[in-house]
Amino acid sequence: MKDLDALLATARDAAAIGARLMTTRHPGTVRAKGDRDYVTELDVRIQHEIRDFLARTTPDIDFLGEEDGGGTIEESTGAVWVLDPIDGTSNFAHGIPLCATSLALVHHGEPVVGVVTAPFLNLRYHAVEGGGAYCNNERIHASTTTELHRAIVSLGDYATGEGAFEKNEHRFAVTRALAENVERVRMFGAASLDLAWVAQGRTDCCVILSNNPWDTAAGVLIATQAGATVVNTDGKKHSARSTATIGSNGVLVDSLLRTTAGAGG
């Protein structure tokens, strides 16, 4: 796509709307979307305001937001903005600062612009395809850790909703395999931050056993532009069709995959 820098500026302005509202408004009413899956009034308000802003500034680009019921991205899909207004809603609703607005521009199934803004942590990540990754306007790079037993690895949330018991049996096995083979396991509760922190070298790897585009698209671009590798469970390049989102500094990807594959599933 052309004019990625201009589209990045638009994305950063849009994400700033989420940051402003998260830091100046209360969550409001919290309602259930499903089993242990919640949305706040502020999630919906942020999505509406960002969607309206993007409709005014980029009227020729489609929009996909989590709070509209989500959806899927295909390789045949043209340009579309993909938004999670508050990634880490449960954290936000409980006053835990690990939450972010995650916005990506996806073109034919691939993220080409990504912004993750975590206002309570004063962290603002961005990347464009081929342009490197940045946090607070400083270039960032994945870690150089070479041994899995020295790695900090974050794990995505456990499953809720239909089929959660079976899905979590696998997640428990992966957790145990990681606990026995890495330095520390962490669970942050926000997929965008899992990937951004691999990009920044705060962590070395992340294992997210799901792949919702609003959760992962921006973070995947930021991570790969920082030199990280993001793959599916079979080691193939991450795509919109992947069933998992496994990020690594690149050096550790093979040993990480061997460890998680041993957990079955």
User: What domains are defined for the chain?
Assistant: 4-139 (3.30.540.10), 148-261 (3.40.190.80)
Residue 173 pLDDT exceeds 70: yes
Band the pLDDT of 263: cuts 50, 70, 90.
Answer: confident
65 vs 81: CA distance, rounded Å: 8
pLDDT of residue 75: 66
Tens of pLDDT, residue by residue over 61-107, are 999 998 876 667 776 678 999 999 999 999 999 999 999 999 999 99
How confident is the model at residue 230, as a pLDDT?
Answer: 98
- What digits encode the pLDDT tens for the residues 206-253? 999 999 999 999 999 999 999 999 999 999 999 989 999 999 998 999
Is the torsion defined by CA of 239, 242, 245, 246 positive or negative? negative
Exposed/middle/buried for 142, CB within 10 Å: 0-12, 13-18, 19+? buried
Q: Determine how β-strand 62-65 pairs with β-strand 80-87.
A: parallel
What pLDDT is recorded for position 81?
A: 96
Local confidence band at 171 (pLDDT 50, 70, 90 cut-offs): very high
The predicted structure's pLDDT at residue 28: 65
Q: Give the pLDDT score at 121.
A: 98
More confident: 34 or 92: 92
Could you give the count of Cα atoms lying within 13 Å of 99 in the half-sphere of its Cβ? 23
> What pLDDT was estimated at residue 71?
65
pLDDT tens-digit map of 113-147: 999 999 999 999 999 999 999 999 999 999 999 99
pLDDT score at 92: 93
Residue 26: predicted pLDDT: 80
Mean predicted lDDT score pLDDT of the chain: 92
Do the Cβ atoms of 73 and 54 come closer than 8 Å?
no
Contact 62, 56 (CB under 8 A): no
Per-residue pLDDT averaged across 188-205, rounded?
98
Confidence of residue 204 (pLDDT cuts 50, 70, 90): very high
Q: Is the pLDDT of residue 174 over 60?
A: yes
